[in-house]
């Protein structure tokens, strides 16, 4: 029992000592939220939006592999286009959370893949968001570049891609029974800190 009590704190502190935390800022762009042709083509699209990402990870299995949680928040404008006329629809905020698995690619490059969810929060309940925002299942992948700048700090650059199907309660009420595939791409830079 004494031996177990002496070994347990060491193993716990060893795991804690490998925790990594990071923060990034950047921009995210997305494909059309809605595209349909009734008489003329109608499109609803987001503008490129500033974003912030926060995350943490722990080592698992083989050396170099980690599991972590990442949350992002973006806020920007969105608009509709019909018959060559653009209409500003206000502000649209998005929050996502992904459970990620990551591993080494080559030297400072690392791959990342994850599953999670995305929530849309429109500033105004109007148009396709008349019944409020919507939560969607999200799948993502990415590539990170890390470069040490201090003993426990790395400079981090990230390229991300994620995909989800989009619809809202208001679209369903108006007879849009199918969902629209939406791709998002983000580019960001930040700092990563290891507690080692």
Residue 178, in any domain of the structure? yes
Task: Give dist(CA 97, CA 53) in Å, integer.
Answer: 10
Q: CATH code at 115?
A: 2.40.160.20
Residue 99, in any domain of the structure? yes
Domain count of the fold of the chain: 1
What is the DSSP track for 61-119? SSTT-EEEEEEEEEEEEEEEEETTEEEEEEEEEEEEEEEEEEEEEETTEEEEEEEEEEE
Residue 6, in any domain of the structure? no
pTM: 0.82
Residue 128, in any domain of the structure? yes
Residue 3, in any domain of the structure? no
Residue 91, in any domain of the structure? yes
Residue 46, in any domain of the structure? yes
What string of pLDDT tens digits covers the 196 residues of the chain? 333 333 334 433 344 448 999 999 999 999 999 887 665 678 888 999 999 999 999 999 888 899 999 999 999 999 888 777 888 888 999 999 999 999 999 989 999 999 999 999 998 888 888 888 899 999 999 999 999 998 889 999 999 999 999 999 988 888 887 889 999 999 999 999 988 6
- Confidence at residue 52, expressed as pLDDT on a 0 to 100 scale: 98
Residue 10, in any domain of the structure? no
Spacing of C-alpha 186 from chain mean position: 8
Domain that holds residue 42: 18-194
Tokens of 165: 């199907």
């Amino acid at each position: 029992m004494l031996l177990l009590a002496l070994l347990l704190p060491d193993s716990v502190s060893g795991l804690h000592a490998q925790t990594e935390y990071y923060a990034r800022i950047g921009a995210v762009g997305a494909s059309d939220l809605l595209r349909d042709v009734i008489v003329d083509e109608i499109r609803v699209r987001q503008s490129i939006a500033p974003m912030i990402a926060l995350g943490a990870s722990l080592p698992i299995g083989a050396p170099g592999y980690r599991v972590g949680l990442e949350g992002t928040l973006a806020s920007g404008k969105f608009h509709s286009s019909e018959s060559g006329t653009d209409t500003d629809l206000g502000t649209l905020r998005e929050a996502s959370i992904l459970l990620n698995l990551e591993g080494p690619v080559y030297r400072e490059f690392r791959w990342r893949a994850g599953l999670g969810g995305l929530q849309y929060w429109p500033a105004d309940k109007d148009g396709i968001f008349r019944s409020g925002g919507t939560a969607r299942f999200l799948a993502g992948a990415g590539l990170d570049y890390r470069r040490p700048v201090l003993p426990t700090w790395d400079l981090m650059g990230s390229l991300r891609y994620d995909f989800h199907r989009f619809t809202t309660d208001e679209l369903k009420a108006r007879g849009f029974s199918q969902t629209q595939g939406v791709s998002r791409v983000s580019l960001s830079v930040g700092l990563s800190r290891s507690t080692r």
